[in-house]
Structure 1
Amino acid sequence: MRKKLRVAAYAICVRDGQVLLARWLDDGKPKWTLPGGGMEHGEDPGDTVLREVEEETGYHVEVTGLLGVRSVRFPSRRRFGRTLDQHHVGLVYEARVTGGELRFEVGGSTDMAQWHDLDAVPALTRVPLVDDGLRLWRERPATGQPGG
C-alpha cells in the first residue's frame, strides 16, 4: 500500500464573535474549512499559514499563537483499485487580521472566504477540521490535541 504524508498549517481568526472560513471545493461538493493549506518543501509552517491565508482570503494575518496539532490517518481508494494510506498533520495557529481586504481565491482549492457567526458554524456544511480547530481555540488543551 502506498503511503502519503501531508503537513499543513491553518489559521483560526476570530473577531467580534465571528470566525473566518474558506469554502473548499471537494469534488464539486463545497465545504467550509479553516483558511490554510499544505507546506511546500523547506517552508516554515509559520510562513505557510501566512501565505495560505492571504491566498485564500486576501487578508494579511499575524500569528498570535500555536493552538495545537491535528493528526488524521485514513485509507482512500485510488485509480485501478489501489489503496492509499494517507496521513494528514495540521498545525493550527491562532491569528489576527492585520491588513488586506476580503477577496476570493481564483484558480485554487477554495472559491470564497467569509466571516461566520460562531453560533452558526454547527449548521454549516464543513470539514471536521473546523470543529477541531474551534475546540483547540476554545479549550486550549495542554496536549495541543483536540479533545486531549
Structure 2
Amino acid sequence: MRTRVTGIVIEDNAVLLLDQDTEGPRTWSLPGGKVEDGESEEEALVREMLEETGLHVEVVRLLYICDVPSAHIRHITFEARRTGGQIGQVARDADTSPIRAVQWVPLNRLTDLGFGPRFMELCREGFPGAGSYMGPKSAIGL
C-alpha cells in the first residue's frame, strides 16, 4: 500500500488549495503527495507543501488517516502552519498534474468547489476527532 500525505493550512477562515486535475471530478485539492522512500510522513508533507505552494510549513498535528482501497493508498491528512515562503512559487514539474493556481479559498466556498459538506464542517469545527482513523477518504468529505 502506498502512502499519500496532504496538508490543511487555514488562515483567516480560508484554506490553502491547488487548482489542478485530480483523480475525480473536482479540480481543487489540498496540497500534498506521495511519501518517498526514506522520508517520514511529516518530512514528505513539508517537502510537498514547498514544491506545490511555495510555502515553508511546520506540521502541527495529525488530523486523519483514511484509505482509498480501490487504489491501495493510505491517505494521511495533517494540519500545518505557514512559517515562511511565498504563495505561488511552485517548483517546476512539482507534480505530474500541472498546478494552475495556488490560493486561499474561503471555507464557505468549499462545497462550491466540489468538497463535501463534511470537509467544510471539519474545517470550521477545528477537526473534531483529530488523530483518528476515519475509514474511506469520502468520510472526511474528500
TM-score range normalised by the length of the shorter chain: 0.7 to 0.9
> What corresponds to 2:128 in structure 1?
140
CA RMSD of aligned residues (A): 2.8
CA contact (8 A) 2:22 2:29 kept: no
Q: CA deviation at 1:124?
A: 0.6
User: For the structure 1 residues 48 and 131, does the alpha-carbon distance in structure 2 shift closer, same or farther, using more than 3 Å as the test?
Assistant: farther
CA 1:62–1:51 in structure 2 vs 1: closer, same or farther (change >3 Å)?
A: same
Mapping of residues 15-26 of structure 1, within 5 Å: 15-26=11-22
Tell me which moved more, 138-147 or 41-50.
138-147
- Cα distance, 1:40–1:20 mapped onto 2, change above 3 Å: same
SS in structure 1 opposite 2:69?
A: strand
Match of 2:111, SS state, is helix
Q: CA deviation at 1:14?
A: 0.4
The question of 1:69 aligning with 2:65 is answered yes
Identity %, equivalent residues: 31
Residue in 2 that maps onto 1:79: none
For the 8 Å contact 1:12–1:133, the answer to whether it is kept is no
Give every structure 1 segment of 4 or more consecutive aligned residues whose post-TM-superposition deviation is greater than 6 Å. none
In structure 2, distance between residues paired with 1:63 and 1:133: 20
Distance 1:53 1:8 in 2: 13
Which of the numbers 107, 111, 122 marks the counterpart of 1:118? 107
Decide whether the 8 Å contact of 1:12 with 1:93 is kept in 2: yes
Change (3 A) 1:144 1:7: same
- Conserved 8 A contact 2:64-2:76: yes
Is the aligned partner of 1:101 residue 2:86?
yes
More relative contact order in 1 or in 2 (CA 8 Å, sep 6+)? 1
TM-score, normalised to structure 1, is 0.75
- Residues 19 and 119 of structure 1, relative CA distance in 2, 3 Å threshold: same
Q: Which has the larger radius of gyration?
A: 1
How many residues align structurally?
130
Structure 1 residue runs without a partner (length 5+): 75-85
